[in-house]
Structure 1
Amino acid sequence: MTIQSVDVLYTAVATAENGRDGRVASDDGNLDVVVNPPKELGGSGAGTNPEQLFAAGYSACFQSALGVVARQAKADISGSRVTAKVGLGKTEAGGFGLTVELAVSIPNVDREAAQQLVEQAHQVCPYSHATRGNIAVELTVV
Protein backbone atom coordinates (compact mmCIF):
# COMPACT_ATOMS: atom_id res chain seq x y z
CA MET A 1 0.00 0.00 0.00
CA THR A 2 1.35 3.41 -0.93
CA ILE A 3 0.97 6.52 1.15
CA GLN A 4 -1.18 9.08 -0.61
CA SER A 5 0.07 12.59 -1.15
CA VAL A 6 -2.16 15.20 0.47
CA ASP A 7 -2.35 18.94 -0.10
CA VAL A 8 -3.09 19.83 3.53
CA LEU A 9 -5.90 22.37 3.95
CA TYR A 10 -6.28 22.07 7.74
CA THR A 11 -4.34 20.47 10.57
CA ALA A 12 -6.00 19.49 13.84
CA VAL A 13 -3.73 19.53 16.88
CA ALA A 14 -4.54 17.75 20.14
CA THR A 15 -2.36 16.84 23.09
CA ALA A 16 -2.93 13.95 25.49
CA GLU A 17 -1.73 13.84 29.07
CA ASN A 18 -1.59 10.49 30.93
CA GLY A 19 -2.81 8.45 27.96
CA ARG A 20 -6.10 6.61 28.41
CA ASP A 21 -6.50 7.86 31.97
CA GLY A 22 -6.00 11.59 31.71
CA ARG A 23 -6.99 14.48 29.50
CA VAL A 24 -7.01 15.39 25.80
CA ALA A 25 -7.21 18.97 24.57
CA SER A 26 -7.02 20.69 21.21
CA ASP A 27 -4.71 23.63 20.73
CA ASP A 28 -7.64 25.98 20.01
CA GLY A 29 -9.51 25.03 23.21
CA ASN A 30 -12.59 23.69 21.38
CA LEU A 31 -11.94 20.20 22.70
CA ASP A 32 -10.91 19.58 26.28
CA VAL A 33 -12.05 16.26 27.70
CA VAL A 34 -11.22 13.85 30.47
CA VAL A 35 -10.40 10.39 29.15
CA ASN A 36 -10.74 7.22 31.19
CA PRO A 37 -10.75 3.57 30.25
CA PRO A 38 -14.28 2.17 29.96
CA LYS A 39 -15.54 -0.12 32.72
CA GLU A 40 -15.26 -3.07 30.28
CA LEU A 41 -11.48 -2.53 30.31
CA GLY A 42 -11.22 -2.10 34.07
CA GLY A 43 -11.49 1.68 34.14
CA SER A 44 -13.88 4.04 35.83
CA GLY A 45 -15.72 4.93 32.63
CA ALA A 46 -16.08 8.44 34.06
CA GLY A 47 -14.79 10.19 30.93
CA THR A 48 -14.78 9.58 27.23
CA ASN A 49 -12.21 7.31 25.61
CA PRO A 50 -10.21 7.21 22.37
CA GLU A 51 -12.64 4.76 20.75
CA GLN A 52 -15.61 7.09 21.39
CA LEU A 53 -13.65 10.01 19.97
CA PHE A 54 -12.74 7.95 16.89
CA ALA A 55 -16.38 6.87 16.47
CA ALA A 56 -17.52 10.49 16.72
CA GLY A 57 -15.00 11.65 14.14
CA TYR A 58 -15.65 8.79 11.73
CA SER A 59 -19.44 9.13 11.87
CA ALA A 60 -19.30 12.90 11.27
CA CYS A 61 -16.79 12.53 8.44
CA PHE A 62 -18.77 9.71 6.80
CA GLN A 63 -21.99 11.74 7.05
CA SER A 64 -20.24 14.58 5.20
CA ALA A 65 -18.95 12.19 2.53
CA LEU A 66 -22.49 10.85 2.16
CA GLY A 67 -23.63 14.41 1.55
CA VAL A 68 -21.05 14.85 -1.20
CA VAL A 69 -22.08 11.73 -3.10
CA ALA A 70 -25.79 12.40 -2.51
CA ARG A 71 -25.50 15.88 -4.05
CA GLN A 72 -23.77 14.36 -7.09
CA ALA A 73 -26.53 11.75 -7.38
CA LYS A 74 -29.26 14.31 -6.63
CA ALA A 75 -30.47 12.07 -3.79
CA ASP A 76 -32.41 13.34 -0.79
CA ILE A 77 -30.52 12.30 2.34
CA SER A 78 -32.36 14.63 4.71
CA GLY A 79 -32.94 12.90 8.02
CA SER A 80 -30.05 10.50 7.42
CA ARG A 81 -27.88 9.30 10.30
CA VAL A 82 -24.53 7.58 10.56
CA THR A 83 -23.74 5.61 13.70
CA ALA A 84 -20.17 4.40 14.12
CA LYS A 85 -19.43 1.49 16.44
CA VAL A 86 -15.72 1.17 17.20
CA GLY A 87 -14.58 -2.04 18.86
CA LEU A 88 -11.27 -2.53 20.65
CA GLY A 89 -9.91 -6.01 21.14
CA LYS A 90 -6.90 -8.26 21.08
CA THR A 91 -5.36 -9.31 17.79
CA GLU A 92 -4.02 -12.74 16.92
CA ALA A 93 -0.51 -11.25 17.09
CA GLY A 94 -1.06 -10.38 20.75
CA GLY A 95 -1.54 -6.61 20.43
CA PHE A 96 -4.72 -4.61 20.24
CA GLY A 97 -6.75 -3.62 17.20
CA LEU A 98 -9.93 -1.89 16.18
CA THR A 99 -13.07 -2.84 14.28
CA VAL A 100 -15.61 -0.42 12.89
CA GLU A 101 -19.26 -0.80 11.94
CA LEU A 102 -20.96 2.09 10.20
CA ALA A 103 -24.75 1.82 10.40
CA VAL A 104 -26.32 4.26 7.96
CA SER A 105 -29.97 5.25 7.84
CA ILE A 106 -31.24 7.15 4.79
CA PRO A 107 -35.03 7.26 5.16
CA ASN A 108 -35.85 9.10 1.91
CA VAL A 109 -33.96 6.71 -0.39
CA ASP A 110 -34.80 3.11 -1.26
CA ARG A 111 -32.52 0.43 0.16
CA GLU A 112 -30.65 -0.33 -3.08
CA ALA A 113 -29.92 3.34 -3.77
CA ALA A 114 -28.94 3.84 -0.14
CA GLN A 115 -26.47 0.94 -0.36
CA GLN A 116 -24.90 2.50 -3.47
CA LEU A 117 -24.59 5.88 -1.77
CA VAL A 118 -22.98 4.27 1.29
CA GLU A 119 -20.47 2.39 -0.89
CA GLN A 120 -19.64 5.60 -2.78
CA ALA A 121 -19.27 7.56 0.47
CA HIS A 122 -16.86 4.87 1.69
CA GLN A 123 -14.67 5.66 -1.33
CA VAL A 124 -14.76 9.42 -0.59
CA CYS A 125 -14.48 9.62 3.22
CA PRO A 126 -10.97 10.43 4.52
CA TYR A 127 -11.48 8.15 7.55
CA SER A 128 -12.37 5.31 5.19
CA HIS A 129 -9.19 6.02 3.23
CA ALA A 130 -7.16 5.92 6.44
CA THR A 131 -8.67 2.65 7.67
CA ARG A 132 -8.80 0.78 4.36
CA GLY A 133 -6.58 -2.28 4.54
CA ASN A 134 -5.87 -1.67 8.24
CA ILE A 135 -9.17 -2.02 10.09
CA ALA A 136 -12.20 -4.18 9.34
CA VAL A 137 -15.00 -1.73 8.44
CA GLU A 138 -18.51 -3.14 8.06
CA LEU A 139 -21.07 -1.01 6.23
CA THR A 140 -24.72 -1.57 7.09
CA VAL A 141 -27.79 0.18 5.70
CA VAL A 142 -30.45 0.26 8.40
Structure 2
Amino acid sequence: MPTIYSIDALSTGAGRDGHVTTSDGMVDLEMRAPKELGGSGEGFNPEQLFAAGYAACFHSALNSVARQRKIQLTDATVGARVELVSVDDGLQLAVHLEVVIPTQPHDVAQELADEAHQLCPYSNATRGNIQVTITVTDD
Protein backbone atom coordinates (compact mmCIF):
# COMPACT_ATOMS: atom_id res chain seq x y z
CA MET A 1 0.00 0.00 0.00
CA PRO A 2 1.37 3.42 -0.85
CA THR A 3 1.73 5.78 2.10
CA ILE A 4 -0.33 8.95 1.67
CA TYR A 5 0.76 10.69 4.89
CA SER A 6 3.11 9.91 7.71
CA ILE A 7 3.92 11.66 10.99
CA ASP A 8 6.26 10.75 13.83
CA ALA A 9 5.55 11.40 17.50
CA LEU A 10 7.97 11.10 20.40
CA SER A 11 7.08 10.60 24.05
CA THR A 12 9.65 11.55 26.66
CA GLY A 13 9.55 11.57 30.44
CA ALA A 14 7.16 9.08 32.01
CA GLY A 15 4.48 8.47 29.39
CA ARG A 16 1.25 9.78 30.87
CA ASP A 17 3.36 12.12 33.00
CA GLY A 18 5.75 13.25 30.31
CA HIS A 19 5.87 15.22 27.09
CA VAL A 20 4.91 14.47 23.50
CA THR A 21 6.04 16.17 20.33
CA THR A 22 5.53 15.51 16.65
CA SER A 23 8.25 15.70 14.05
CA ASP A 24 6.56 18.66 12.34
CA GLY A 25 6.40 20.62 15.63
CA MET A 26 2.61 21.03 15.47
CA VAL A 27 2.08 19.01 18.66
CA ASP A 28 4.19 19.92 21.68
CA LEU A 29 2.23 18.96 24.78
CA GLU A 30 2.72 18.24 28.44
CA MET A 31 1.02 14.97 29.31
CA ARG A 32 -0.53 14.27 32.69
CA ALA A 33 -2.58 11.36 33.89
CA PRO A 34 -6.21 12.29 34.58
CA LYS A 35 -7.30 12.63 38.19
CA GLU A 36 -9.32 9.42 37.79
CA LEU A 37 -6.03 7.57 37.33
CA GLY A 38 -4.34 9.30 40.25
CA GLY A 39 -2.72 12.06 38.22
CA SER A 40 -2.92 15.81 38.47
CA GLY A 41 -5.12 16.17 35.39
CA GLU A 42 -3.22 19.35 34.58
CA GLY A 43 -2.14 18.35 31.09
CA PHE A 44 -3.33 16.34 28.16
CA ASN A 45 -3.84 12.60 28.23
CA PRO A 46 -3.83 10.01 25.43
CA GLU A 47 -7.59 9.45 25.63
CA GLN A 48 -8.29 13.16 24.99
CA LEU A 49 -6.07 13.12 21.93
CA PHE A 50 -7.64 9.90 20.64
CA ALA A 51 -11.16 11.31 21.12
CA ALA A 52 -10.27 14.51 19.27
CA GLY A 53 -8.60 12.60 16.45
CA TYR A 54 -11.44 10.09 16.07
CA ALA A 55 -14.11 12.82 16.06
CA ALA A 56 -12.29 14.84 13.39
CA CYS A 57 -11.45 11.81 11.25
CA PHE A 58 -15.00 10.43 11.38
CA HIS A 59 -16.40 13.88 10.57
CA SER A 60 -14.15 14.03 7.49
CA ALA A 61 -15.32 10.57 6.42
CA LEU A 62 -18.94 11.69 6.93
CA ASN A 63 -18.38 14.73 4.72
CA SER A 64 -16.68 12.60 2.08
CA VAL A 65 -19.59 10.16 1.96
CA ALA A 66 -22.07 13.04 1.75
CA ARG A 67 -20.15 14.64 -1.14
CA GLN A 68 -20.15 11.32 -3.01
CA ARG A 69 -23.93 11.21 -2.62
CA LYS A 70 -24.22 14.92 -3.53
CA ILE A 71 -25.67 15.76 -0.12
CA GLN A 72 -24.76 19.10 1.42
CA LEU A 73 -23.98 18.76 5.13
CA THR A 74 -24.47 21.94 7.10
CA ASP A 75 -24.29 22.07 10.86
CA ALA A 76 -23.32 18.38 11.11
CA THR A 77 -21.28 17.45 14.17
CA VAL A 78 -19.47 14.40 15.42
CA GLY A 79 -18.73 13.92 19.09
CA ALA A 80 -16.44 11.20 20.40
CA ARG A 81 -16.33 9.92 23.97
CA VAL A 82 -13.38 7.68 24.72
CA GLU A 83 -13.56 5.56 27.82
CA LEU A 84 -10.79 3.68 29.54
CA VAL A 85 -12.44 0.53 30.86
CA SER A 86 -11.23 -2.22 33.11
CA VAL A 87 -11.14 -5.71 31.60
CA ASP A 88 -9.93 -9.03 33.00
CA ASP A 89 -6.36 -8.61 31.81
CA GLY A 90 -5.93 -4.84 32.18
CA LEU A 91 -7.37 -1.76 30.53
CA GLN A 92 -9.05 -1.24 27.20
CA LEU A 93 -10.60 1.62 25.26
CA ALA A 94 -14.24 1.96 24.26
CA VAL A 95 -15.54 4.67 21.93
CA HIS A 96 -18.99 6.22 21.62
CA LEU A 97 -19.57 8.42 18.57
CA GLU A 98 -22.55 10.77 18.38
CA VAL A 99 -23.42 11.98 14.89
CA VAL A 100 -25.82 14.90 14.47
CA ILE A 101 -27.03 15.87 11.00
CA PRO A 102 -29.97 18.21 11.62
CA THR A 103 -30.58 18.94 7.93
CA GLN A 104 -31.22 15.31 6.93
CA PRO A 105 -33.97 12.82 7.75
CA HIS A 106 -32.90 10.31 10.39
CA ASP A 107 -32.72 7.38 7.97
CA VAL A 108 -30.44 9.32 5.58
CA ALA A 109 -28.27 10.49 8.48
CA GLN A 110 -27.98 6.88 9.69
CA GLU A 111 -26.96 5.69 6.21
CA LEU A 112 -24.30 8.39 5.99
CA ALA A 113 -22.94 7.49 9.44
CA ASP A 114 -22.87 3.78 8.57
CA GLU A 115 -20.98 4.49 5.34
CA ALA A 116 -18.59 6.84 7.13
CA HIS A 117 -17.86 4.07 9.65
CA GLN A 118 -16.71 1.87 6.77
CA LEU A 119 -14.50 4.65 5.34
CA CYS A 120 -12.97 6.25 8.44
CA PRO A 121 -9.36 5.14 9.10
CA TYR A 122 -9.94 5.25 12.88
CA SER A 123 -12.99 3.00 12.50
CA ASN A 124 -11.00 0.63 10.32
CA ALA A 125 -8.14 0.56 12.83
CA THR A 126 -10.40 -0.15 15.80
CA ARG A 127 -12.90 -2.52 14.14
CA GLY A 128 -12.83 -5.86 15.91
CA ASN A 129 -10.40 -4.57 18.54
CA ILE A 130 -12.50 -2.32 20.76
CA GLN A 131 -16.17 -1.52 21.22
CA VAL A 132 -17.27 1.40 19.04
CA THR A 133 -20.90 2.49 19.17
CA ILE A 134 -22.42 5.09 16.90
CA THR A 135 -25.57 6.99 17.77
CA VAL A 136 -27.28 9.21 15.21
CA THR A 137 -29.43 11.93 16.73
CA ASP A 138 -31.49 14.68 15.16
CA ASP A 139 -30.12 17.44 17.37
- Corresponding residue of 1:119: 114
- Corresponding residue of 2:35: 39
CA displacement at 1:76 relative to structure 2: 2.1
- Corresponding residue of 1:87: 83
Higher strand share: 2
CA RMSD of aligned residues (A): 0.8
- Corresponding residue of 1:63: 59
Matches within 5 A, 1:1-142: 6-17=1-12, 18-92=14-88, 94-142=89-137
**1:80·1:105 contact (CA, 8 Å) conserved in 2?**
yes
- Corresponding residue of 1:3: none
**1:76·1:109 contact (CA, 8 Å) conserved in 2?**
no
**2:7·2:24 contact (CA, 8 Å) conserved in 1?**
no
TM-score (normalizing by structure 2): 0.95
CA displacement at 1:129 relative to structure 2: 0.4
Number of equivalent positions: 136
| Structure 2 unaligned residues grouped into runs of 5+ | none
List 4+ stretches of structure 1 deviating above 4 A: none
Supply the distance in 1 between the matched residues of 2:101 and 2:72 (Cα, whole angstroms). Answer: 8
Superposed CA offset, 1:107-142 (max 9, x none): 111111000100000000000000000010000012
| Structure 1 unaligned residues grouped into runs of 5+ | 1-5
